[in-house]
Amino acid sequence: MLRQLSENHEPAFRQLYEGYAPGVYAVALQHLKLPHLAEDIVQSVFLKLWENRSEVLSIQHFASWFYTITRNSIISALRKQGSIDTYRNYLKERMEISHDSPELQLLKKEQVTLIREAVAQLSPQQRTAFQLQREEGLSYEAIGKQMGIATNTVKVHLYKAMESIRNYVMQHSKDSIAVACLLPFLLMDKNIF
């Protein structure tokens, strides 16, 4: 399908749109709360996909690329709406699954399970650094002191941990695009660990 898209095949684009637009919309609506902004995100994401169609075959990890476009579009919209910090506080309050649509409940439940599995698969050093940062909110320096390692080593452990978690979730998810869009926001919630 990506090959057809790269050759300007509009039915392939339409098929991608029909397959992924509902997930992008659901995630955007969850975070932006306004249907017209969520629709704008969907249009923006798929416009970028169409504009970059000639390059899709050179993209090694299409799902990650698509996730990045979606995430960046949402963040950009949030910046236009106001402070990202204000939004993070709002998001933490809204993370209760009971307030979401059944589709988002299922996606969040699946993702929380996958994140926990992914964290369990990390090396002991990566897991410790990750948990100290996410659960206890420690800085790189504080983690380094507690673990007896350099601050740069902490950064490497955390980078590799995030990369490993992201890859695990993407490989094991049924709807990797929608789940990938939720991943960074769920990782902000220390209650899932």
What are the residue ranges of CATH 1.10.1740.10 in the chain? Answer: 1-94
Q: Was domain 97-193 assigned CATH 1.10.10.10? A: yes
Which of 45-49, 165-169, 186-190 tops mean pLDDT?
45-49
Which residue, among 158, 146, 191, 180, has the nearest Cα to 64 in the 3D structure? 180
Q: How confident is the model at residue 191 (pLDDT cuts 50, 70, 90)?
A: low
Question: At residue 134, what are phi and psi to the nearest 5 degrees?
Answer: -80, -45
pLDDT the model gives residue 129: 92
Question: In three state form, how does the secondary structure of 94-125 look?
Answer: HCCHHHCCHHHHHHHHHHHHHHHHHHHHCCHH
Question: DSSP letter at 52?
Answer: T
d(CA 169, CA 183): 8
Cβ neighbourhood burial of 157 (10 Å; 0-12, 13-18, 19+): buried
Quote the tokens at residue 14. 């339409």
* Contact predicate 77/41, CB 8 Å: yes
- Does residue 188 surpass a pLDDT of 70? no
pLDDT digits (tens, 9 = 90+) for 99-134: 556 666 666 777 788 888 999 999 999 999 988 988
- Does residue 187 surpass a pLDDT of 80? no
Quote the tokens at residue 110. 């699946």
Percent with pLDDT over 70 in the chain = 75
The topology (CATH level 3) of 1-94 is Rna Polymerase Sigma Factor; Chain: A (1.10.1740)
pTM (two decimals): 0.47
pLDDT digits (tens, 9 = 90+) for 61-108: 877 788 888 888 988 888 777 655 555 565 555 554 445 566 666 667
d(CA 144, CA 104): 37
53's torsion region: left (phi>0), alpha (psi -120 to 50) or beta? Answer: alpha
Angle at 139 between CA 137 and CA 145, to 5 degrees: 115
What are the residue ranges of CATH 1.10.10.10 in the chain? Answer: 97-193
Determine the average pLDDT of the residues in 178-186.
57
